[in-house]
Amino acid sequence: MKYFHLTFFLFSFTLGVFGQELPDSSNVDIEAFMAEYQLAIDSVEKSLTYQHGTVELPGSNATLTVPSGFGYLHPVQAKKVLEELWGNPPAETMGLLVPDGLGVMGDQSWAFDITYDDIGYVDDDDASDIDYDELMTTMKKDVMEENKMRAKEGYPEVTMHGWASKPYYDADLKVLHWAKDVEFAEAGFHSLNYNVRMLGRKGVVVMNAIGSMDQLQEISGAIPQVMVAVKFNDGFQYQDFDSDVDEVAAYTIGGLVAGKVLAKAGLFAFFAKFAKVILIGLAAAAAGIWRWLRGRKKEEIPAIPENTGQDNPLV
């Protein structure tokens, strides 16, 4: 929000909405504009309801004990954040874990996206035998193939640079985690995709930390808490597997790691994508910015509406 080039992106977008040309930058009060824009962001943040304690993870036969220092956004609000604010393609989510104090719109924001994959029981016999350097070589080739489909769907191409954190499997907890260093063509910088998988009898709870490479240490520091945050219900834990009746997943630990690069990985770093959505969703704020740019006095700019729970795009 504080960067000059982002400010002028917002100028350009706002004026484009109203079919006007970008004004002479020498006549624009950057500080006043950004103050107005910050009000719009604050309105979005105030609309979000964070939960703590223990929550059910729908459809997974598991519960989440929200780790200390995090808040949980329920699936409805989480989906709107992922798709409308962070520019991700439509996808299901069981919620977001957001670090306290960062929110979802800050330039240092990051979060764990929680999903469930009902692939069946994942055999972990291969966990200690995998050559992860060799696996990365294969994954880079796979990403190049995936880029063809991404381009057709209008999403930026991805470059897989390597491991940000090599895969580690905790055989006692039945939890696997690893981090990839990826780069999106339109961003021009590296993004972090930190993956955590909790294995159960019928499937896997998935947590993907979406952040930037300079947040690796911060996200890594949260992994020990996250690894113990999910508990499968009695009868659905890994050790409850019954080979006579239960489905076995088509791939093992190595297959989990080698899965496709998620389309959502790191996309929130495209600030311009979700800046557009805020200005559209909060039309009054956009109109206020526009009127101010047209030379109106500051006191004439219409106030950003209170959060009534009716019109805000995140409710």
- Which residue type occupies 80? K
Range of lowest pLDDT (174-183, 240-249, 273-282): 273-282
Helix, strand, coil percent content, the chain, rounded in steps of 5: 35, 25, 40
Q: What is the mean pLDDT of residues 107-126?
A: 92
**DSSP string of 161-218?**
EEEEEEEEEETTTTEEEEEEEEEETTT-SEEEEEEEEEEBSS-EEEEEEEEEGGGHHH
- Give the per-residue pLDDT at 86: 79
pTM value is: 0.72
Q: 29 or 100: whose pLDDT is higher?
A: 100
The confidence band for 47, taking pLDDT boundaries of 50, 70 and 90, is confident
pLDDT in tens, 176-221: 999 998 887 766 677 788 999 999 999 999 999 988 888 899 999 9
As given in the structure block, the two tokens for residue 93 are: 């989510």
- Which segments of the chain belong to CATH 3.40.1000.10? 51-269
pLDDT band at residue 143, thresholds of 50, 70 and 90?
A: confident
The DSSP output letter for 265 is T
Residue 2: other Cβ atoms inside 10 A: 9
What pLDDT does residue 210 have? 83
pLDDT at 27: 59
d(CA 224, CA 220): 8
Whole-number Å distance between alpha carbons of 136 and 193: 14
pLDDT of residue 32: 72
**What percent of the chain is predicted at pLDDT more than 90?**
43
Q: 3-state DSSP call for residue 307?
A: coil
In 3D space, the residue among 205, 238, 242 whose CA is nearest the CA of residue 116 turns out to be: 205
Q: Which of the pair, 151 or 223, is modelled with greater confidence?
A: 223
> If pLDDT is split at 50, 70 and 90, which confidence band does 18 have?
very low
- Measured N-to-C along each axis, helices 30-46 and 283-293 cross at an angle, to the nearest 10 degrees, of 170
Query: For residue 298, how many C-alpha atoms fall within 13 Å in the half-sphere facing its CB?
Result: 7
Residues 313, 302: Cα–Cα separation, whole Å: 19
Task: State residue 149 phi and psi, 5-degree precision.
Answer: -70, -40
pLDDT score at 191: 78
Q: What is the biggest distance separating any 2 CA atoms in the chain, rounded to whole angstroms?
A: 75
Q: What are phi and psi of 218, to 5 degrees?
A: -65, -45
Of 86-95, 103-112, 125-134, 270-279, the one with minimum mean pLDDT is: 270-279
Model pLDDT, residue 22:
45
| Over residues 14-42, mean pLDDT | 59
Task: Count the Cβ atoms, other than its own, within 10 Å of residue 166.
Answer: 14
**Confidence class for position 35, pLDDT limits 50, 70, 90:** confident
* Mean pLDDT, all residues of the chain: 76
pLDDT for res 57: 94
Closest CA to 180 of 192, 167, 190: 192
Band (pLDDT 50/70/90 cuts) for residue 235 is: very high
Amino acid occupying residue 109: S
| CATH, domain range 51-269 | 3.40.1000.10
pLDDT score recorded for residue 26: 53
Q: So what's the pLDDT on residue 212?
A: 81
Helix or strand or coil: residue 125?
Answer: coil
The pLDDT of 111-123, averaged and rounded, is 95
